[in-house]
A = this chain, B = another copy of it.
């Protein structure tokens, strides 16, 4: 970290900073410019960097503290420079393999899941998604079928062979979900539910971590670091749109975030255009854009009857629209050297 002193700071202020650095086990390096004195802290210990930066920022004469090192480690390219592949059951995500995870927003019935699973399998999806536990903004909306929904997903896997990705909202559901799911999803609203992140890290399944809709890329990577610190590197990141001032779409799919994160981490990154845009006719262009931008996979909501869906009908594709999308996805994927 670098400590920038105020123009009116005194020699004594500088000495106090240096003394405090020494107490903390840091070396230092002073650079006196014409307008500012700058103190470099050398040999930063691994832990508590952010806390220490906060403490130094309030010492007398300090203008600001500039962190230099990244606040994550286990998941960073500095730790492991090669892109990783994560297996969701038999489906490979990363390393040129596009994972296409499709299915309904909510599991509503055995029939609905089975019908959707068959259709997306037929169209070429590599995994099945569907929520048994649902985060809903209104307490009066359908809240999901719970463990009954997990059974329906398992039945659909049994028949189609598609591995299952499903969300866990609460640490108490984790064991039950991990028993059935091939990949445990942490939703955007729980990206900073730190207890859940830690425990998901040792639930025995790969974890898909959605970006919080108002989280910076750095916060997203730090949340992934929590999972990694919990015990696994089988993590798939998922960009699903951020909240901006624009209201014509539900969120704004931030594809450049995917490209930035790829430089920082070796973890595979997928995109969820369905939740990002919230309107079915915008899903296809954004899915193709995500593939062209280098996504390692897609999450796509598909429902046999969007006009009867208990959640997210407006953004769900029909099976026919999904099949047409898959055709285009294959072409764009090929154009950028990837395949489904």
- Measured CB to CB, the residues of A under 8 A from B are 2, 4, 7, 29, 31, 33-36, 38, 40, 42-44, 46-51, 54-59, 66, 68-69, 71-72, 78, 135-143, 169-172, 189-190, 192-196, 198, 212-214, 216-219, 222-223, 225-226, 229, 242-249, 252-260, 263, 276-277, 280-282, 285-286, 288-294, 306-314, 328, 331-332, 334-336
**Residues on B with beta carbons closer than 8 Å to the beta carbon of A141:** 48, 50-51
The distance in angstroms between the C-alpha atoms of A248 and B244, with both chains bound, is: 14
A144 to chain B, nearest CB (A): 10
The distance in angstroms between the C-alpha atoms of A69 and B140, with both chains bound, is: 14
Given A192-B135, A259-B282, also A244-B242 (CB < 8 A) = yes
B69 touches A66 (CB 8 A): no
**Residues on B with beta carbons closer than 8 Å to the beta carbon of A259:** 277, 281-282, 285-286
A124 to chain B, nearest CB (A): 16
**Residues on B with beta carbons closer than 8 Å to the beta carbon of A223:** 137
B280 touches A58 (CB 8 A): yes
The distance in angstroms between the C-alpha atoms of A34 and B34, with both chains bound, is: 27
The distance in angstroms between the C-alpha atoms of A223 and B142, with both chains bound, is: 15
A90 to chain B, nearest CB (A): 27
A289 touches B293 (CB 8 A): yes
**What are 13 inter-chain pairs, A to B, with CB distance below 8 A?**
A36-B68, A36-B69, A58-B314, A137-B219, A137-B223, A139-B229, A217-B248, A243-B245, A252-B256, A253-B256, A285-B292, A328-B336, A332-B332
**Residues on B with beta carbons closer than 8 Å to the beta carbon of A242:** 244-246, 252
A190 to chain B, nearest CB (A): 7
**Residues on B with beta carbons closer than 8 Å to the beta carbon of A248:** 216-218, 257, 260
Known: A58-B280, A135-B192, A248-B260. 14 other contacts (CB 8 A): A2-B2, A2-B38, A33-B68, A51-B141, A58-B306, A58-B307, A138-B225, A170-B195, A189-B193, A246-B254, A249-B260, A285-B292, A285-B294, A292-B292
Q: Which of B35, B142, B194, B216 contacts A48 (CB 8 A)?
A: B142
**Residues on B with beta carbons closer than 8 Å to the beta carbon of A294:** 285
A45 to chain B, nearest CB (A): 10
Q: Which of B68, B195, B280 contacts A4 (CB 8 A)?
A: B68
B38 touches A68 (CB 8 A): yes
B214 touches A245 (CB 8 A): yes
A244 to chain B, nearest CB (A): 5
A324 to chain B, nearest CB (A): 13
B257 touches A216 (CB 8 A): no
